[in-house]
Structure 1
Amino acid sequence: MARTPEKRGLGRGLSALMADIEPERSETDTSLDAGSSARSAERTVPIDSIAPNPDQPRRAFDQAALDDLAASLRHKGIIQPLIVRPDPDDSTRFQIVAGERRWRAAQIAQLHDIPVLVRDLDDTEMLEVAIIENIQRADLNPIEEALGYRQLIDRFGHTQEQLATAMGKSRSHLANTMRLLQLPDEVQAYVRDGELSAGHARALVTADDPIALARLAVSKSLSVRDVEQAAKSGPSTSRKGNRRAASKDADTKMLESDLSAALGMLVVIDHDTDAGGGKLSIRYKDLSQLDDLMRLLNTA
């Protein structure tokens, strides 16, 4: 049973664990560092003694890319070992922490043994390394990346500032990426399947009808700029509201972005400069999100 992690700062979770994630070598690169301490800890185990991480954040594996990698592995073997941990339920087996793509390709290549680095990680550390490894190597689509950031924040108590510093990303990148989780499931599916880019998705977050605009973008192969313009214009009945939104200053827009990222819901601020007050709107997509919001307000 997975342990419930306590909220904490970076601690060992990111700063130390990231040392386990080496820049990924091309499997066709035969040049190795003879004196590497990581290589000295390497061992070879039967491929059928290894199982994937049940909490692997990456869900989509391109079959053509796996076949290409498998062809390379048949010729060169596996250059970089997988990171694994002992299976908590069976000491004779291992769970993948990082390197599931290589493991899948090795199965296709019908390799019998595979090089690994064994690390003694608990459930929390295992998930953190898996998320960070995928994000660092750009192996996740934008929605999976957003879910990875959300997991690191919600489950492990990391802040956006901590993640940005540890992972070499800007805070705005993290916030904008997590905003994609506000999109309807259908739109997220377009992004996961590669039919829409992250740029398209960011423009759709502010659209009055993101599903209709996403369908139009896919069917007409609209550019990101086209989608941005369509999202800003909106239906003719809401021109007044769009003019008001277009006149928002940069601080208001940034505050909307920060609140949206923190809540995981779309936040809109309508400030009346003359009156000195205004309205803050929070859009939830289902009752579960509404329950989450009520819990946050009750504990504030």
Structure 2
Amino acid sequence: MVARRRLGRGLDGLLPAAPPPSERPSKNNAAIEELHPGRMQPRVRIDAEALAELAASIREHGVLEPILVRKRSLGGFEIIAGERRWRAAQQAGLKEVPIFVHDLDDEKAFEAALVENLQREDLNPMETARAFQRLVDDFGYTQETIASKVGKERSTVANALRLLKLPEDVAGLIEGGQLSEGHGRALLSAPSVSTMKKLAHSAVSKGWSVREAERQARRAARGDDAPSKKKSSAKSANVRDLERRLSRALGSTTTIHESGKERGQIRINYASFDELDRLIEKLT
């Protein structure tokens, strides 16, 4: 049995090696106001209800896991991982929180923040996609590198990045939890931005499954004018009249297929060789 792949190296794998126990500082505390939101934070939205629940837990039990920070040049600390705990601690009325201080550059800080959020499943699909793209744009990561860092398959990273091709309206529905990541990927096969938006809102209002969204997007990609094509291919009254007259004259079902201006085919059906011989004699 193949072992389940873990999520990257975790935060421990991203941080500098710990010093020997004799040199290791004890857990530090810092005043709430000394901490500042991180510039490298990939999460944009924080669920208010979930934050209130965390605040209630912190009010009763305290902050059990220290907040990972780095020193700011202007004083105080910048949060690398644990902003939600910090905000919840404020709601809970705490005056100080436990911290771990690490000296990390921007690349390592952002990587640590991303991995921590992925481990806690704190990011919505669009935030994850933007975080992956930031690793590409700011730090030159490849999809393979990102996959290795966060413990995902390369195809998972590629599919996440594809979501950034969605129009803003549709991305907003995914961020708000009204549509899933699967819905977003399905809608990417729609032929235009306007069609994506239309299908996205239909998916929300009608409660489409991902499979139904895929079906509707494929249908749209085949051409919104499919009904008009069918209509244009209908035979005219003159053609139908000619088919009836030829069928009567030949004694066999005859159909006419137009393939262009003044061009087409006549098809005569026969049910036996005897009938075929009769038709040949009649036509020659």
TM score, norm. by length of structure 2 = 0.69
Task: Give the match for residue 49 of structure 1.
Answer: 34
Q: Which residue of 1 aligns with 2:152?
A: 169
CA gap of 1:20–1:172, structure 2 versus 1, over 3 A, is closer
Give the 3-state SS of the residue equivalent to 1:85 in structure 2. Answer: strand
Secondary structure at the aligned position of 2:225 is classed as helix
1:19 aligns with one of 10, 13, 22: 13
Residue 18 of structure 1 deviates from its aligned partner by 5.2
In structure 2, the residue matched to 1:295 is none
The answer as to whether partners of 2:32 and 2:96 remain within 8 angstroms in 1 is yes
Match of 1:74 among 32, 42, 59: 59
CA distance in 1, matches of 2:94, 2:53: 15
Aligned counterpart, 1:60:
45
Would you say the 8 A contact 2:55–2:92 is kept in 1?
yes
Does residue 123 (structure 1) correspond to residue 106 (structure 2)? The answer is yes
Structure 2 counterpart of 1:152: 135
Counterpart secondary structure, 2:29: strand
| 1:73 Cα deviation from its structure 2 partner | 0.5
| SS of equivalent to 1:45 | strand
Q: Give distance in 1, aligned partners of 2:113 and 2:148.
A: 18
1:84/1:95 contact within 8 Å kept: yes
CA apart distance, 1:190: 0.4
Contact 1:50 1:94 in 2 (8 A): yes
Asked if the contact 2:10–2:115 (Cα under 8 Å) also holds between the matched residues in 1, the reply is no
**In the alignment, which of 196, 199, 206 is matched to residue 179 of structure 2?**
196
Question: What is the match of residue 241 of structure 2?
Answer: none
**Counterpart residue type for residue 223 of structure 1:** S
Distance 1:197 1:181 in 2: 14
Which aligned pairs between 1:1-300 and structure 2 lie closer than 5 A? 19-20=13-14, 41-90=26-75, 93-208=76-191, 209-234=195-220, 235-237=223-225
1:179 counterpart letter in structure 2: R
In the superposition, relative to structure 1, how do residues 144 and 116 fare at CA in structure 2: closer, same or farther (>3 Å)?
same
Please state how far the C-alpha of 1:89 moved relative to its aligned partner: 1.8
Q: Kindly indicate whether the alpha-carbon contact (under 8 Å) linking 2:38 and 2:78 is maintained by their aligned counterparts in 1.
A: yes
In the alignment, the residues of structure 1 paired with residue 47 and residue 128 of structure 2 have an alpha-carbon distance, to the nearest angstrom, of: 16
C-alpha distance in 1, partners of 2:28/2:14?
A: 16
Which amino acid counterpart does residue 133 of structure 2 have in structure 1?
R
Q: 1:181 Cα shift?
A: 0.2
What is the rounded CA distance, in whole Å, between the counterparts of 1:124 and 1:226 in structure 2? 40
| Cα deviation 1:123-154 (Å, max 9, x = unaligned) | 33222222222223221100000001111111
Does structure 2 retain, via aligned residues, the 8 Å contact 1:70–1:105? yes
* Distance (whole Å) between structure 2 residues aligned to residue 153 and residue 75 of structure 1: 41
Q: Which residue of 1 aligns with 2:280?
A: none
- Greater than 6 Å deviation, 4+ residue runs: 14-17
- 8 Å Cα contact 1:17-1:125 kept in structure 2: no
One-letter code of the match for 1:152? L
Quick check: which has more Rg, 1 or 2? 2
Q: Is the 8 A contact 1:71 1:109 kept in 2?
A: yes
SS in 2 for 1:121: coil
Say if 1:81 and 1:114, in contact at 8 Å, map to a contact too: yes
Distance 2:187 2:167 in 1: 10
- 1:271 is aligned to none
Q: TM-score, normalised by structure 1?
A: 0.65
**Cα displacement string for residues 204-234 of structure 1 (whole angstroms, at most 9, x for unaligned residues):** 1111211110011011111111101101111
Is this contact kept in 2: 1:146–1:177, CA < 8 A? yes
Deviation at 1:20, TM superposition (A): 5.0
| Cα separation, 2, equivalents of 1:189 and 1:18 | 33
Partner in structure 2 of residue 277 of structure 1: none
Provide the residue aligned with 2:4 in structure 1. none
Gaps of 5+ in 1: 1-13, 22-35, 240-300
For residues 16-63 of structure 1, what are the alpha-carbon distances to aligned partners after superposition, in whole Å with 9 as ceiling and x for unaligned?
A: 965257xxxxxxxxxxxxxx99x9642111111111113321110011
Deviation sequence 1:185-214 (CA, Å, 0-9, x none)? 000000011110001011011112111100
